[in-house]
Amino acid sequence: MKFIVLKKSVLLFSAGLLLACALLAIPLGENVAASVFFGDNLRKVPIYSVEIEEKTVAISFDAAWGADKTQGILDILKEYDTKATFFLVGFWVEKYPEMVKAIADAGMEIGNHSNTHPDMVKLTQNQMELELSKCIELVNNIVPTEISLFRAPFGSYNNTLIDTAESLGMQTIQWDVDSLDWKGISATEITNRVMSKVKSGSIILFHNNSDHILEALPVILERLKMQGYKVTNVGNLVLHDNYEIDRAGVQKKK
């Protein structure tokens, strides 16, 4: 009788591989962020973009510091009959209540961008919940509106944060097109960057008070229109049920 001797390292590798395959095969819930296997961690992923056939994209503005250009952005969006999502930080809401009202009155979608703009992954779950719930409270003190979207400050997230947002009825939203407008680059550079990266289902990131947003935005909207894109807010782009999210953050119909 012959015996086959296997090295311990080979057995461990094989067991790990089988475990990874089993975890990847676990079905996901209908309305939760995807859980995908990264190395030795089961990690949830927010929505970076949406898989759709239609030429539709969403534009979003993070508002944390300054408001000088916000009304100008709203005027441009009105001129182009375009909706957008404004992710607001709580202390910005407190400082600029009249702009929060103007955003809502213009028919724009309001999303949650935390209360104090911390790196959320450094917080406890209770602190995360407080950050999110306080922002919702501050917005609703000014305008009664449902807030169903959350964007993490600095794009920094973990499973606990996504779970906490979901427990408060919010989907966690990232982006797949970063305009880098916050770096102070020119309107031409912002435009070229966005137009070179945009595709159907993209979520585009802008900031409400970046240096050249008022020059870049109308050019981008005009070019998107010329290329046959419909531009909308994030809530109108993303799926709200019967979906899954792949490890790249692409939300897809089941």
Query: What are 192-214's pLDDT values in tens digits?
Result: 999 999 999 999 999 999 999 99
| Fold (CATH) for 49-253 | TIM Barrel (3.20.20)
Tell me how crowded residue 252 is: count the other CB atoms within 10 A of its CB.
14
Q: What is the pLDDT of residue 41?
A: 56
Tell me what the mean pLDDT of segment 131-150 comes to. Answer: 98
Average pLDDT score over residue span 131-151: 98
pLDDT at 144: 95
Burial of 249 (0-12, 13-18, 19+ CB in 10 A): buried
Residues 151-166 have a mean pLDDT of 98
Mean pLDDT of 1-22: 42
pLDDT the model gives residue 42: 82
Does the pLDDT at position 46 exceed 50? yes
Residue 25: the pLDDT is 40
Q: What is the pLDDT of residues 94-139, one digit of tens each?
A: 999 999 999 999 999 999 999 999 999 999 999 999 999 999 999 9
H/E segment holding residue 159? helix 159-167
Quick check: 238 pLDDT over 50? yes
Domain definitions of the chain by residue range: 8-45, 49-253
Stretch 144-158: mean pLDDT = 97
Per-residue pLDDT at 252: 98
- Span 130-153, average pLDDT: 98
Q: How far apart are CA 242 and CA 224, in angstroms?
A: 29
Which segments of the chain are extended strands (E)?
Answer: 34-38, 41-45, 49-50, 56-63, 85-88, 109-112, 149-150, 171-172, 177-178, 203-207, 230-232, 243-245, 250-253
% pLDDT > 70, the chain: 84
* Calculated CA dihedral for residues 152, 153, 159, 165, nearest 10 degrees: -40
What SS3 state is found at 44?
Answer: strand
